[in-house]
């Protein structure tokens, strides 16, 4: 199989990975917004932290994603960027066979780039894809609309959770916020048995870009 044909298969494979996580699982820079703090760190109370996170409308992050199925566990490293004007970008950093694949969305168009083979595929008239469970902004919108949600402090972190009830694989989502920096540390997607199916670790994140 020549390199171009192989690359085409990789492109379609990565689309399936990214969109399947979002639809089937439906899966420390400092944030730019200022917040009150003293020499010991943040001084916001739990409700103020909740409001701070709910006001996030864009971000850029380097994440590590762990996806658990019944038979195996897969790991992905990605760069994510979500802007306020319905633009999204996701770049695969690992595994090796997906490295350099970039999927971006703008004005109804998905563009898939393979930087290793200098190939680009464009899909027009595509629905807005930011409602993807892998996106932080998707969690925030879901939390705002949820009837059953909770916020509490756990091990010096603020845990926001809500019931999605989208399907048996995505029944609940949790987001953990560092109480001192006010930055997200990780997000989890749980199934109907309360098992974590997707875990997203935010290695670097910048809010309200």
What structural domains and CATH numbers belong to the chain?
3-207 (2.50.20.10)
Is pLDDT above 80 for 128?
no
Alpha helix positions (H), the chain: 3-23, 46-54, 136-145
Q: Are 192 and 171 in contact (CB under 8 A)?
A: yes
Q: Are 137 and 57 in contact (CB under 8 A)?
A: yes
Q: 88: which DSSP letter?
A: E
Is pLDDT above 50 for 51?
yes
pLDDT band (50, 70, 90) for residue 70: confident
Q: What pLDDT score does 24 carry? A: 41
pTM confidence score: 0.79
Q: Are 205 and 184 in contact (CB under 8 A)?
A: yes
Is pLDDT above 90 for 23?
no
Q: Are 158 and 131 in contact (CB under 8 A)?
A: no
Q: What is the mean pLDDT of the chain?
A: 83
Is pLDDT above 70 for 172?
yes
């Amino acid at each position: 199989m020549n390199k171009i044909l192989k690359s085409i298969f990789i492109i379609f494979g990565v689309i399936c990975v990214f969109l399947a996580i979002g639809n089937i699982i439906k899966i420390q820079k400092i944030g730019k917004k200022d917040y009150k703090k003293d020499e010991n760190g943040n001084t916001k109370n739990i409700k103020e932290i909740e409001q701070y996170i709910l006001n996030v409308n864009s971000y850029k992050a380097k994440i590590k994603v762990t996806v658990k199925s019944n038979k195996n566990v897969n790991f992905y490293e990605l760069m994510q960027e979500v802007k306020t004007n319905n633009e999204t970008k996701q770049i695969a950093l690992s595994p090796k066979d997906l490295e350099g694949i970039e999927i971006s969305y703008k004005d109804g168009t998905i563009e898939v780039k393979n930087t290793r083979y200098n190939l680009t595929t464009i899909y027009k008239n595509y629905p807005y894809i930011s409602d993807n469970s892998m996106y932080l902004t998707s969690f925030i919108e879901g939390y705002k609309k949820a009837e059953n949600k909770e916020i509490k402090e756990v091990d010096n972190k603020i845990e926001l959770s809500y019931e999605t009830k989208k399907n048996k694989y995505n029944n609940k989502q949790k987001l953990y916020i560092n109480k001192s920096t006010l930055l997200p540390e990780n997000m989890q997607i749980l199934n109907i048995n309360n098992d974590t199916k997707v875990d997203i670790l935010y290695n670097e994140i910048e809010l309200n870009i």
